Amino acid sequence: MYNIAIISGDGIGLEVMESAEYLLDKLDINFNFKYGEAGFECFNKNGTTLPEETIKIAKSSDATLFGASTSTPGQPSPIINLRKELDVYANLRPIKSYQGIKSLKDNIDFIIVRENTEGLYCQIEYEDNDKIIAERIITRKASEKISEIAFKLSKRRNKQNKVTCVHKSNVLKKTDGVFKESFYKVAEKYPQITTEDFYVDATAMYLITNPLNFDVIVSSNLFGDILSDESAGLVGGLGLAPSGNIGDDNGLFEPVHGSAPDIAGKNIANPCSMILSTAMMLDYIGEKETALKINNAVENVVAKGKILTPDLGGKSKTMEMTKAIVKEMI
């Protein structure tokens, strides 16, 4: 029996979480779901975007599923704070091309490892007369920790055996200087892994001109976030981009996308990013075979090209695609 926290949030977060729950219900595994609130609607109701109760539920679960939240003016981001509360310091964002879906190149297959606890995402901003200041904190400890994860992952993937460090140390000489230095310090422990480092602006171009170059990309919080939406765009969009936030004691799984107010309420959101995030969650709790089955089912449904949501060129609704994926698993 696994205790799983379910935090749907706002907008399409609610719709894609329905897909995840539908799928989990059909599995031959026992789950005890605990539900938590977060986000914009939650703020309107409770005066906070992330209630203590939700943090408690997530902390006491074996893993957490998060949908998406709409940002609330003047309030901190619930997902950033939840990542902090759970100390899930590594945000893993796999990117791969799917047969049947237009991709910039066939066989794109890399993973972004994004530092999750510091950088500009500390949300420390203040004013000093006419100066508006955002703090960008980078520590050696967090930089080494995230590089360590990246090298381990490249070794485990056993594909190109390469890690690319992405930074902007030509301008952010101190903060990104430390990020890069930490990367090369950790690299010494992994002589069998090839290393390279690029500036973030050049990386944004290389992702388009030579996406097959990449195996594991490690970067700081904001750069990792921006590059992951760009990378999702290479292989069919945010509807196919899952993510896992991993720490020493907790795992929090969520699609890369947000609450998509432009399509919310229409039941046309692509459920795959949430379903693939659910597979990452199952892999994390030890249900590796089921995780693999889900990934294969998504691949097959997408490749058949019959039941697809509009973002992938189809006409199907969120639950129609979800049911097709579940049926494919049996």
**Binding residues for Mg ion, per CB under 5 A?**
225
Site for ligand NAI contains 61 (CB under 6 A):
no
Choices 18-26, 118-126, 213-221, 258-266 (CB under 6 A): range interacting with ligand NAI: 258-266
What residues contact 205, with CB distance under 8 A and at least 6 apart? none
Choices 50-58, 69-77, 105-113, 118-126 (CB under 6 A): range interacting with ligand NAI: 69-77
Q: Identify residue 178 by its one-letter amino acid code.
A: V
Choices 90-98, 213-221, 262-270, 292-300 (CB under 6 A): range interacting with ligand NAI: 262-270
Give min distance, CB of 324 to ligand NAI, in A: 15
Choices 24-32, 135-143, 207-215, 261-269 (CB under 6 A): range interacting with ligand NAI: 261-269
The residue count for binding ligand NAI (CB under 6 A) is: 21
d(CA 318, CA 10): 16
Of these partners, Mg ion, ligand NAI, none, which one is at the site of residue 238 (CB under 5 to 8 Å by kind)? ligand NAI
d(CA 47, CA 26): 36
Residue closer to ligand NAI (CB basis): 79 or 301: 79
Site for ligand NAI contains 261 (CB under 6 A):
yes
Of these partners, Mg ion, ligand NAI, none, which one is at the site of residue 225 (CB under 5 to 8 Å by kind)? Mg ion
| Selection from 319, 271, 330 nearest residue 26 by Cα | 330
In the shown chain, the binding pattern of residues 2 to 21 toward ligand NAI, with x for contact by CB under 6 A and - for none, equals: ----------x---x-----
Give min distance, CB of 184 to ligand NAI, in A: 31
Site for ligand NAI contains 24 (CB under 6 A):
no
Of these partners, ligand NAI, Mg ion, none, which one is at the site of residue 48 (CB under 5 to 8 Å by kind)? none
Per-residue b/e over 77-113, b at no fewer than 16 CB within 10 Å? Answer: bbbbbbbbbbebbbbbbbbbbbebbebbeeebbbbbb
Of these partners, Mg ion, ligand NAI, none, which one is at the site of residue 92 (CB under 5 to 8 Å by kind)? none
In the region spanning residues 198 to 257, those forming contacts with ligand NAI, defined by CB under 6 A, are 238-239, 254, 257
Residue closer to ligand NAI (CB basis): 211 or 255: 255
* Residue whose CB is nearest to ligand NAI in the complex, by number: 258
Cα 146 versus chain centre, distance: 15
